[in-house]
Amino acid sequence: MVSKPDFVTDPRQNRHGKLPENADAKGLNQSPSLKDELYLRFYLSSPEEFALPLISIKEVIEVTPNQIIPIPNTSPLVLGVVNWRSRLIWVVDLGKFMGEMIPLNLERRSQVSVITTEYEDAIIGLAVDHICATFWLDMESVVAPTDVPDDIVPFVHGEWLDSENNKSVKLINQKIILQSDKWASMVKFNQEGK
């Protein structure tokens, strides 16, 4: 992971990256314990909120739709490629991949949020509707997912209830996504160009 990505830092941190004693990233008196993991919260095109473990993320980038170059004869899940640090990376509409009916509408937005992640020496971009925040998640508070559409059941490994906002956050893991049969068939489709 990038050593100090902007979306992880807190302006209250001292020069050693430490927060004041009873502070957290959102001011909720939440202090991480050894059981906690840092997650990135985001939305796809639906009102459902999702989160990925931050440790699996290289960087979050904002690109203009013009920076995403469409590639002909690829899966409809692939938005195109983008130049990231002098490397071309595939950008996939994560919502559409996970079965959302409404794809990301690139024509109606000035910026696209892309979560970059690495898998088997390849950098992949997962396009999402928008990024919310990072948060420390007590893994003991994760429960089995409920009300999960059949399309995304294989990718959701848990659920966390944000009691402050009365919302359920679905926890996904990029390795589960990138090791899935659906991902493999998309990659095969792109290689064959059919």
pLDDT value at residue 190: 60
Please, what are the domains in the chain? 34-181 (2.40.50.180)
List b or e across 15-27, with b for residues whose CB sees 16 or more CB atoms inside 10 angstroms. eeeeeeeebbbee
* Bridge partners for 156 per DSSP: 172
Q: Specify the DSSP class assigned to residue 5.
A: -
pLDDT value at residue 83: 93
Q: Which amino acid, one-letter code, is at 111? A: Q
How is residue 189 written in tokens?
């489709």
pLDDT value at residue 128: 95
Helix, strand, or coil (residue 190): helix
Indicate the pTM of the whole model: 0.77
Q: Each residue's pLDDT tens digit in the chain (194 positions)? A: 333 344 444 433 433 444 444 444 443 445 556 568 999 999 998 888 999 999 989 999 999 999 999 999 888 899 999 999 999 999 999 999 888 888 888 888 899 999 999 877 788 999 999 999 998 988 888 888 888 777 778 888 889 988 788 888 999 988 888 888 888 777 766 666 54
